[in-house]
Chain A
Amino acid sequence: MSDTPPILELAEVSKRFVRKADLAARILNLFGASHADETVYAVDQVSIAIPKGQVVGLVGESGCGKSTVGRVAAGLLRPNEGSVRLNGKDVTTDGAGLSVQMIFQDPFSSLNPRKRVADLIGEAPRVHRIVPRETLEDYVAQTMERCGLDPSFRRRFPHQFSGGQRQRIGIARALAVKPEVLICDEAVSALDVSIQAQILNLFLELKEAYGLTYLFISHDLGVVRHVSDHVVVMYLGRVVEQAPTAALFDAPKHPYTQALLAGAPRISRRRQVFAPVKGEIPSPLAPPTGCHFHPRCPFAMPRCREERPALKAVAGDRLSACHLNDAA
Chain B
Amino acid sequence: MTPVLQVENLTTSFFTGAGEVKAVNGVSFAVERGEVLGIVGESGSGKSVTGFSIMGLVSPPGRVTGGRILFNGRNLVGLPEAEWRKLRGHRITMVFQDPMTTLNPVLRIDTQMIEAIQAHERVSRRAADARAREALAKVGIPDPASRIKAYPHQLSGGMRQRVAIAIALLHGPDVLIADEPTTALDVTIQGQILAEVQTLCRETGTALVWITHDLAVVAGLANRIAVMYGGRIVEEGDVDDVLDAPRHPYTRGLIDSLPEHGSHGGRLRQIPGRAPAPHETPPGCAFAPRCAYADEACATPPPVQVFGFGRGVRCVRPLPGSDQ
Report A's interface with B, CB cutoff 8 A. Answer: 55, 61-62, 162-165, 192-198, 200-201, 204, 219, 221-223, 225-227, 229, 245-246, 259-260, 262-278, 280-281, 296
**How near does chain B come to A270, taking the closest CB pair, in angstroms?**
6
A222 near B258: Cβ-Cβ < 8 Å: yes
Chain B 259-286 against A: per-residue CB contact (8 Å), 1 yes, 0 no?
Answer: 1111011111111101100000000000
Closest to A266 in B: B216
- B259 in complex: contacting residue of A162, A195, A223, CB < 8 Å: A223
- Knowing A61-B188, A222-B216, say if A267 contacts B255 (CB, 8 Å): yes
B267 near A204: Cβ-Cβ < 8 Å: yes
Assembly CA distance A165 to B243 (angstroms): 28
- Knowing A193-B257, A197-B270, A246-B264, say if A263 contacts B187 (CB, 8 Å): yes
- Knowing A194-B42, A227-B265, A265-B220, say if A276 contacts B192 (CB, 8 Å): yes
Which 6 A-B pairs give the minimum distances between C-beta atoms? Answer: A276-B191, A272-B220, A263-B191, A226-B259, A197-B257, A274-B195
- Knowing A222-B259, A225-B264, A267-B255, say if A280 contacts B270 (CB, 8 Å): no
Closest to A296 in B: B188
Assembly CA distance A243 to B186 (angstroms): 22
Assembly CA distance A164 to B274 (angstroms): 8
**How near does chain A come to B145, taking the closest CB pair, in angstroms?**
17
A263 near B190: Cβ-Cβ < 8 Å: yes
Which residues does chain A contribute within 8 Å of B188, judged by CB atoms? 61, 259-260, 263, 276-277, 281, 296
Which residues does chain B contribute within 8 Å of A197, judged by CB atoms? 257-259, 268-271
Closest to A260 in B: B187
**How near does chain A come to B275, taking the closest CB pair, in angstroms?**
7
Assembly CA distance A195 to B255 (angstroms): 13
Chain B 185-222 against A: per-residue CB contact (8 Å), 1 yes, 0 no?
Answer: 01111111011001000000000000001111101110
**How near does chain A come to B286, taking the closest CB pair, in angstroms?**
13
Assembly CA distance A99 to B194 (angstroms): 43
- Knowing A192-B42, A197-B257, say if A270 contacts B189 (CB, 8 Å): no
User: Interface residue tally of chain B, by bracket?
Assistant: 35 or more
Assembly CA distance A296 to B219 (angstroms): 27
B265 near A204: Cβ-Cβ < 8 Å: yes
> What are 27 A-B residue pairs whose CB atoms fall within 8 Å in the complex?
A61-B188, A61-B189, A162-B274, A193-B254, A194-B253, A195-B274, A198-B270, A201-B270, A225-B259, A225-B264, A226-B259, A226-B260, A227-B259, A245-B264, A259-B188, A260-B187, A260-B188, A268-B219, A270-B240, A271-B239, A272-B194, A274-B194, A274-B195, A275-B191, A277-B191, A281-B188, A296-B188
A271 near B220: Cβ-Cβ < 8 Å: yes
A268 near B267: Cβ-Cβ < 8 Å: no
Assembly CA distance A84 to B4 (angstroms): 61
Assembly CA distance A196 to B213 (angstroms): 12
**How near does chain B come to A237, taking the closest CB pair, in angstroms?**
15
Assembly CA distance A263 to B182 (angstroms): 13
Assembly CA distance A196 to B262 (angstroms): 13
Assembly CA distance A245 to B272 (angstroms): 28
Closest to B198 in A: A274
Assembly CA distance A223 to B158 (angstroms): 23
A194 near B267: Cβ-Cβ < 8 Å: no
Which residues does chain A contribute within 8 Å of B215, judged by CB atoms? 193, 267
B42, B192, B268, most chain A CB atoms within 10 A: B268
- B270 in complex: contacting residue of A194, A260, A281, CB < 8 Å: A194
Inter-chain pairs besides A197-B271, A198-B270, A263-B187, 10 sampled, C-beta below 8 Å: A192-B213, A195-B274, A198-B272, A204-B265, A226-B264, A229-B265, A265-B190, A265-B219, A266-B220, A267-B261
Closest to B195 in A: A274
A194, A200, A226, most chain B CB atoms within 10 A: A194
Which residues does chain B contribute within 8 Å of A227, judged by CB atoms? 259, 265
Which residues does chain A contribute within 8 Å of B261, judged by CB atoms? 267
Assembly CA distance A55 to B158 (angstroms): 31
A280 near B187: Cβ-Cβ < 8 Å: no
A221 near B187: Cβ-Cβ < 8 Å: yes
Which residues does chain A contribute within 8 Å of B271, judged by CB atoms? 194, 197-198
Assembly CA distance A221 to B194 (angstroms): 18
Which residues does chain B contribute within 8 Å of A165, judged by CB atoms? 274
A197, A226, A271, A296, most chain B CB atoms within 10 A: A197
